[in-house]
Structures are given as C-alpha cells and as structure tokens.
Structure 1
Amino acid sequence: MPLLDVRDLRVEFPTRHGVLTALHDVSFSVDKGERLGIVGESGAGKSVAAFAILNLLSRPGRITGGRILFEDRDLATLSRADMRAIRGDRISMIFQDPMMTLNPVLTIGTQMVETLKAHRDISDAEARRIAIQRLGEVKIPSPEKRMASYPHELSGGMRQRVVIAIALLTEPALIIADEPTTALDVTIQAEIMSLMLDLCRTHGVGLILITHDLAVVSQVTQRVVVLYAGRVVESGQTARVVQNPVHPYTRGLLSALPGEGEPGARLNQIRGSMPPLTAIPPGCAFHPRCDYAEERCRVGVPPLDVIEDHNVRCTRARELIRGVAA
C-alpha cells in the first residue's frame, strides 16, 4: 500500500464568475521513501495539489471530489484537530521563501524547540539536543551557536537549511517541498537539492518535489507527474519520461532547458502562456500552444492512455511516438 495515495482529486474555487476548477481528477501516489516530482508552469496546479494534501487551501478553495489516503487515513475527511496532529509531524512542508516560513522575531533555537514540543512530550533540554543534531545534519557550521541566531542573521542558503532541519525534526514520513530553491542563486540551489536528496535517503523519507524545472526533477526524483491547467498530462518513471517524452507539453518543457539549445542561439520556448482558470479552452487545454493540434484536439478532453509505461493525455500520442505526427 502506498504511503500517500491521491485519487481523482478535484479542487474548486467558487467565485463571482462561477465555480473555477483548479484540479481535475488528479491522481498520483508516493511509496515509503520514494521521491516524486510534480512539474508544470505557474498556474498548472502544482501548489494547489500540495495545499490540498495538507488541508491548507485558501478560502474559498475546497476539495469537491476524490480522496487523499495517507497511512490508510483519508486526509480530506479529517477534522482540523486531527489534521493538525499530522501536519508538521507525519507530513512536513518546505516552502519557497524561508523568510516567509521562519518567525523573524524568534531565534532559530526557540522556533525549533517549540516545533518539537508541539508534537512531542519531551523536555526543553531534549528538544534542544535534537534541534542541534538536525542543524548538524543539514551541514550548518557551529549548530550550537546558530541556535541563538535570528533568521535575518543567516544567508538565504543557511535559512533554507534551517527550514529543512525543522522539516526533519519530527522524523516525518513525507516531506512536500514547494519550489524549495527558487529564492536561491544557482550554486546554492545545487547544494540544497543534493542535501535534500541525501537526507531523504538517510532518513527513508518520502518526498514530493514541486518545481517547474525538469532538469532538477531528473536528478532528484524517481517518478514524475506533469500538470497542465489542473490536469495530469503525462506521468511515469522520471528517467523514461525525460528520455522519451510523449506529450507535446512535456517535450516543450524539456526543449526549453538551457542545455538543449545551440550555443549563442535564443532559448527554445513554448509559445503563449498557461491559461487562467477563467479561460480554460475546450478540449485539450494545451491545444492553442501545441504544434501538433488538430480539430479533434479542440473537441473533447482526451483520456489518460498508457503508452510505453507512461500515462499520457494526448489524442496524437501514438502518432508522436511513431514520428508520423506533423
């Protein structure tokens, strides 16, 4: 049985313009210790999926269908008190900006000790010992001294290491990392991702990595889910999806990577942009941006089809594999 099993998840936002659907019957699973990537541009629904798992959807957002089974409990049906016992304990989350996560007026040590004591019946001394140990695991020098530091006294990379240490405090079964390196420079990004990978392997923690960067996903995750306009358009083993992408959107994301273009040439890009929830086109939502779109792509939403160990939502997928699509 998977550690986390999300099935047919549907999230809606009632507005004055009508009910807007942010996620359409999204399904994925994470086994114990497994690393899953959720990929897509801004507006694809990646963060909404993460917030739905943790019951952190901003109002008026609501789950209107599907189930979220975690350790054999449906998180979508739990009370607020039961959900608080899981959030931050069995499931931890790492957000994009550590300065939005950490309290600027409390020391790192105070925040870590309070986090532990909120979920464990332990003494201050024991909580402090565990906190120092976790800071050491994330490669923070002089962890005892850093316990007395305030967030603004640390660099961006150090702050994100602290956030990772806090996420590991309660020895969670699953960590959800939402664009954890977006606010960092490139060299620090690589260090943080390598650190997260090592820690997940060491602690046997499952990881959901939310990102727009397929290059990062290819290095860190074992399976990947590609979202577009709130729907899964492709999923499968990361290596197979990256090496042999089927859906035109996945192919576009990969071709847009800096290393895919000719030296000195303009970077490849997918024309157009992600449609807003108020203007999702009929049929396949990607068809206005797709080089292979036909009239049938504009009529109905294609079902997920299993092709070469991928789940693909494209009416022309088999033609694309054979190289006959034009």
Structure 2
Amino acid sequence: MEHLLDIKNLSVEFALRSGNVRAVRDVSLSLGKGERLGLVGESGAGKSVLGFSIINLISKPGFISGGEVIFQGDDISKYPYEKMRRIRGNRISMIFQDPMMTLNPVLTVGTQMKETLRAHMNISDKEATAICIDKLKKVYIPSPEKRLEQYPHEFSGGMRQRIVVAISLLTNPNLIIADEPTTALDVTIQAEIMDLLLELCETENMGLMLITHDLAVVSEVTQRIAVLYAGRVVEVGPTRRIIENPQHPYTQGLIKALPQSAHGNRLNQIPGMMPSLQDMPEGCPFCPRCEHRKDRCATQTPPLRPTEAGGFVACFMEGACNE
C-alpha cells in the first residue's frame, strides 16, 4: 500500500518554567492511502497532541522538538506558516470533539462553509453553494439548501457534527484526522457518525486517523490500531489481531476493561495512574502498573519490535504477553 503519511521519530515538547516536558516521544507511524488508523489510549496518553502536531497546530509553549511528518512525500513539519495553511483544512482536514466549539454561533452554516472554500479555492458564490449542498447531501443532511441559511443552534448535536464532517470534506482532502468525534453524542448518534465516516472513507478513498479512548469504536471502524501510553506507541498492528490477541500488558488491560469483557462480573481496572509528564519513570513508563514487570523494565525502555502476527510491540516479556 502506498503511504499517504509517514511519521518518523516525532517528539513534541512543552516549555514550562520547571523545564521542558515531552508529550509525544519518538513516535513513528504510517498511514496508507484510503487506510483507517485508530489512535487509542487513556486521557493524557498524547493522542490529541500527536494529531495536532501532524498539521502543526501545537500552540505555544508547545513545539515539535524532533522527527518528521512526511505527507505525500514532503516533510510538512518544517513548512512555514503560510505554506502550512495551504495544507491544513485543504489536503488534511480535522474533525474536533465538540461541534459547538468548532462552529461560529453567529454565522450561518452556509457562510462558514463558503469561507472554508474561499480560503483554498478561487470560485464564485454559485460554485461554492453547489459544493456546500453536495457535501451536505453526502452526510445525509435533509433539505440542504434550507440548512445553509440556518445557524448552528438550530441543529441537534448529531446534525451539528454531520455539518462539521461536511466542512472537513469541502476540499476533498486526502486525510481526515478525527479527534474524539463522537464524545459529546449519545450512543445511537455515535454509531451513525462512525458509519458515516467509514462510508466516506470507502467512497472517497480518504485516509482516516481516528483518535479515541474507546476500543469498541475503533474495532468497528479502523483497519489498524496504534496504542499510545505516556506519549509512546506501545503496540501497533491490524485491528482484529490486536483486539483478539493483544501483546502488550497495557493493551490487554484496556480490552479487559471493556464492558463486554466483564461477562457479568466486575469490570477489570488497570491499577495505578499514568505517570505525569513531569515525573516520567526511568525505563518502561508502564512498569509501575504492570503485573508482568521484571527488573530490567525499571531501567530500560523497550523498543518497538515486530511480532509474528505482523504488528509491533514495545515490551520485553514476549512470553508473558501471549496469554
């Protein structure tokens, strides 16, 4: 599969008075054209920071401190601001968690959609309107001509998120980064939005990076999963293989914590908490919480190594992790 995106040894730091802290640590990932990749982990694992860093939306005091973001053959992490603007929202679009934070409440949906188009294309108002209507139809918004004249507060939460998806599609991007796109929605609407993203990826041949803490969601939508912990990738591989046979103790804990894994018993809980970025332990960051830890785990950081099933895992205890 031809690669659309290659992230190589990417690190992101935040400059604080007490010193720099690393939120993303030497992450390397790839995404093929039309492929769907899930980024999974607890809150604070670095998922959203990684997503924002791809399109260089890290606000100060944050900055990319190392590595490369190769998009369609070019390292866009080194692009100046104006050149990056031609990529951001055009060839790479992002869907954020809360549509009410994304949409301007005092502008109609049509005005906001046309502004996005004019930022990247030199087209007439008539052409822009036609594109807006077409994209609203693609996300199954009824009466799209009428909806263009309405304001965000006139839509339900699920409809607002569909509009955000439609805006992300306006320029026919090659890649969509979806950051917890269904967090604020009820379960039924979540399923509808996920089905919509899956359908659009298949029909439009777009790459999708889905950032979420919900393994159940990624198991239905993505083809590969990357599990993040404390800013590092600890496991990556085909979705079905990771769900059915996780190799890393952290991935195993996440899957055992799913309600459908309880079978009427108490939910499994991973002991302890993720370490603070300002107080990262030496060695494997998961070591203090791991029931399989050995002496070397406290002093050495395990590298990502290939597994027999075609994935990669950052763990020294291969035998202990094949439960």
Do the structures match in fold with TM over 0.5? yes
Shift of 1:253: 0.6
Q: Distance in 2 between matches of 1:318 and 1:131?
A: 54
Q: Distance in 1 between matches of 2:167 and 2:66?
A: 32
Shift of 1:312: 0.6
Mapping of 1:63-212 within 5 angstroms? 63-212=64-213
Instruction: Report SS of the residue matched to 2:3.
Output: coil
For the 8 Å contact 2:292–2:320, the answer to whether it is kept is: no
Instruction: Report SS of the residue matched to 2:321.
Output: helix
Shift of 1:262: 2.2
Instruction: Report SS of the residue matched to 2:319.
Output: helix
- Percentage of matched positions with identical amino acids: 61
Partner in structure 2 of residue 58 of structure 1: 59
TM-score (norm. length: structure 1): 0.97
Structure 1: 4+ residue segments shifted above 3 A: none
Partner in structure 1 of residue 284 of structure 2: 284
What's the CA shift string for 1:103-138, capped at 9, x where partnerless? 010000110111111111110011011101111110
Partner in structure 2 of residue 225 of structure 1: 226
Shift of 1:280: 1.4
Shift of 1:300: 1.1
Shift of 1:320: 2.4
Shift of 1:304: 1.2
What's the CA shift string for 1:251-289, capped at 9, x where partnerless? 0111111100022x3222212222221121111111111
Instruction: Report SS of the residue matched to 2:283.
Output: coil
Mapping of 1:253-268 within 5 angstroms? 253-263=254-264, 265-268=265-268
More off after superposition, 65-74 vs 312-321:
312-321
Q: Distance in 2 between matches of 1:223 and 1:47?
A: 18
Letter in structure 2 aligned against 1:102: L
Q: Distance in 1 between matches of 2:229 and 2:139?
A: 34
Shift of 1:248: 0.4
Q: Distance in 1 between matches of 2:246 and 2:321?
A: 10
Shift of 1:209: 0.3
Instruction: Report SS of the residue matched to 1:200.
Output: helix
Shift of 1:296: 1.6
Partner in structure 1 of residue 10 of structure 2: 9
For the 8 Å contact 1:34–1:222, the answer to whether it is kept is: yes
Q: Distance in 2 between matches of 1:33 and 1:262?
A: 36
Letter in structure 2 aligned against 1:47: S
What's the CA shift string for 1:72-125, capped at 9, x where partnerless? 111111010000000000000000000010001000011011111111111001
Q: Distance in 2 between matches of 1:246 and 1:317?
A: 7
Structure 2 stretches lacking a partner, 5+ long: none
Root-mean-square deviation (CA, aligned residues, Å) is 1.0
Partner in structure 2 of residue 293 of structure 1: 293
Mapping of 1:17-32 within 5 angstroms? 17-32=18-33
Q: Distance in 1 between matches of 2:319 and 2:63?
A: 36
Structure 1 stretches lacking a partner, 5+ long: none
Shift of 1:68: 0.4
Q: Distance in 2 between matches of 1:144 and 1:178?
A: 28
Instruction: Report SS of the residue matched to 1:319.
Output: coil
Q: Distance in 1 between matches of 2:272 and 2:27?
A: 24
Letter in structure 1 aligned against 2:306: V
Instruction: Report SS of the residue matched to 2:208.
Output: strand
For the 8 Å contact 1:307–1:318, the answer to whether it is kept is: no
What's the CA shift string for 1:201-245, capped at 9, x where partnerless? 111110000001111111111111100001110001111111110
Instruction: Report SS of the residue matched to 1:215.
Output: helix
Instruction: Report SS of the residue matched to 1:117.
Output: helix
Q: Distance in 2 between matches of 1:56 and 1:209?
A: 17
Q: Distance in 1 between matches of 2:320 and 2:185?
A: 41
Letter in structure 2 aligned against 1:114: E
Partner in structure 1 of residue 275 of structure 2: 275
Number of matched pairs: 321
More off after superposition, 301-310 vs 129-138:
301-310
What's the CA shift string for 1:156-197, capped at 9, x where partnerless? 000000000000000000000000000101111001000110
Whether 2:34 is the aligned partner of 1:38: answer no
TM-score (norm. length: structure 2): 0.97
Letter in structure 2 aligned against 1:52: S
Q: Distance in 1 between matches of 2:156 and 2:75?
A: 39
For the 8 Å contact 2:158–2:189, the answer to whether it is kept is: yes
